[in-house]
Amino acid sequence: MTIADADPFAKFKAAQRETWATFAPAAIFNTIAAAKLVKFAHVAPGEWVLDIGCGTGIVAVSAARRGAKVSGLDLSPALLERAHSNADTAAFEIDFVEGDAEKLPYPDAMFDVVLSQFGHIFAPRPAVAVQEMIRVLKVGGRIAFSTWPPELFGGLQFAFIARHLPPHPAGAATPPSPALWGDPSVIRERIGKYVTEIVFERDTTIVPALSPQHFRAAQEKTIGPLTRVVDSLNDDAKKLVRLRTEYEAMITEVFADNAVHMHYIMTRATKT
């Protein structure tokens, strides 16, 4: 039995599949960052590209616009429906499939480039996800992804949500924080033995918002885990007020000029 055969996170993934179904309206705010990732990865015409955790397909479409032949994979059928629509609107044929980053339905060494924008970070077993990403990548091919540093707003948001989520059932496996994927030392540890020429680049995505309160309200409707936290406090008005006050204070730290400034890091490496 291989590491990918026994999956202690099957229930977790089923929940994730539903939890992120509401994310589609928020995806537009990562559209510019998607183009930056594709450019950072040096995607070229004619290359075969895989977008893991493709969501609404903004990275996939961005790669197709550079002339690449693109496949996209995501757990959420709701997000894939939007991805198909986005590809159709842009008049690109992209092979979108529902699937698991820990068990990619592609043959070995199929792709020239493997990308992920804030997607593969939710795979509960990083070692399995990395093995799969490397397996489907050609020798000399490039892996590139965007992640949230744990010490900045995106990563701090994961910690905030984790503190307030209902506890995992007794005995249930607990996945590591997605924010660990934003730490260059962790990235090197996880992918270093498979690649060379690891390069990092930091950037910022700008999310328009009229106030921290407006941003908080929008996040509650589109960020599935945060929605779960809010729903769990529907019968406790005082706790809900405290939660929102704490979250809005975090947002205020990165709010200026009617926008939330969310810093992220891009990583690129070459398979050896």
Domains of the chain in sequence order? 10-203+264-271 (3.40.50.150)
Paired residues of 207 in beta bridges: 260
Buried b / exposed e across 131-155, counting CB within 10 Å, b at 16+? bbbbbbbbeebbbbbbbbbbebbbb
**What mean pLDDT do residues 235-258 have?**
97
What is the pTM for the complete model shown?
0.93
Report the SS3 class of residue 180: helix
Integer Rg of the chain from CA: 18
Q: What is the pLDDT of residue 8?
A: 81
Q: Is the dihedral angle over the CA atoms 213, 217, 220, 223 positive or is it negative?
A: negative
**What mean pLDDT do residues 120-124 have?**
97
C-alpha 241/C-alpha 237 separation (Å) is 6
Contact (CB, 8 A) for 185 and 24: no
DSSP output for 109-120: T-EEEEEEES-G
**What mean pLDDT do residues 144-172 have?**
89
Q: What is the pLDDT of residue 4?
A: 43
**Mean pLDDT, the chain, whole residue set:** 94
CB atoms under 10 Å from CB of 52, counted, come to 26
User: For the segment 34-72, what is each residue's pLDDT rounded down to a tens digit?
Assistant: 999 999 999 999 999 999 999 999 999 999 999 999 999
Confidence class of residue 257 from pLDDT cuts 50, 70 and 90? very high
Q: What is the rounded end-to-end Cα distance, in angstroms, of the chain?
A: 26
Report the SS3 class of residue 21: helix
CB neighbour class for 192 (10 Å; exposed up to 12, middle 13-18, buried from 19)? exposed
- Strand residue runs (E) in the chain: 48-52, 69-74, 95-98, 111-117, 137-147, 195-208, 259-271
**What mean pLDDT do residues 134-157 have?**
98
User: For the segment 177-214, what is each residue's pLDDT rounded down to a tens digit?
Assistant: 999 999 999 999 999 999 999 999 999 999 999 999 99
Q: What is the pLDDT of residue 3?
A: 42
Amino acid found at 103? K
pLDDT at 2 over 70: no
C-alpha 29/C-alpha 58 separation (Å) is 10
**What mean pLDDT do residues 109-136 have?**
98
